[in-house]
Amino acid sequence: MKKLTYLFLSITLLSFGQKSPAFLNEVKDIQKKYDSIWDSSKETIVFTGSSSIRMWKNLESMFPDHQIINSGFGGSQSSDLNRYYKELILQYNPKKVFIYEGDNDIASKKRIKDIIANTRQIVTKIKDSNKATQVVIIAAKPSIARWNLKRRYLRLNRAFEKLCKEDSGMEFANVWDVMMDGKQVRKDIFIGDGLHMNSKGYNLWFSVIKPYMN
């Protein structure tokens, strides 16, 4: 019996040790996509973060005068971007980086101070690579699906805004306000899940983000 138990534990540990890190395949797919189309001789702007970035399908066509890398990976949290910052950001030597993380962190009950700590680490790594790189933190958005968490999102956005004031090379893009109708989140800017945006939602994001592009 003891031998069988030992064998079972050995197999379990071996299987666990061989498990790929979260999002590794998604990150590899993003790298593969841009390997053939990214022009290293041109200035590059990276948009990265969770699914609200990944699902912005017409991001590149909305900013035709810029070389855009969309390295968003759905379901990610700030700690995941902190893990893959080289592959998703630094690899492209960006002039500017737009980051959208924190949405899934809050939904997963992560502490705001931990989200800010991860974000600060990501920004530090970007600046260590190139001090001239500008970083824009996109506010956590309101949504129908997560409206019960609105107070925590607002607290996070205040913390993001405070973080951005620490460095002249950082800015805060407040997408929260344009997605609101008075004191309620707009209902016409989401797809069926009440979390991800439709084209109207992304048009609102475009109106906020456009001034930060130049």
How far apart CA 32 and CA 27 sit, in angstroms, is 9
Q: Give the max Cα distance, the chain.
A: 69
**Which residues span the domain enclosing 71?**
22-212
Q: Is residue 202 part of a domain?
A: yes
Mean pLDDT, the chain cut into blocks of 10 residues (214 residues total) = 44 50 94 95 98 97 97 97 98 98 98 98 98 98 98 98 96 98 97 98 98 92
Is 15 contained in some domain?
A: no
Residue 5: inside a domain, yes or no? no
Locus of tokens 């592009």: 213
Phi/psi for 131 (5° steps) reads -60, -25
**6: in domain:** no
What's the domain count of the chain?
1
Query: Residue 112 has what pLDDT?
Result: 98
Q: What is the pTM of this model?
A: 0.90
Residue 8 belongs to some domain of the structure = no
Within-domain flag for 4: no
- Report how far residue 74's alpha carbon sits from residue 50's, in angstroms, rounded to the nearest whole number: 5
Distance CA 69, CA 89 (A): 9
What's the confidence (pLDDT) of residue 214?
A: 81
Is 13 a domain residue? no
Give the Cα separation of 77 and 115 in Å (integer): 9
168 is a domain residue: yes
Q: The domain spanning residue 84 has which CATH number?
A: 3.40.50.1110
Residue reference for tokens 């609200």: 52
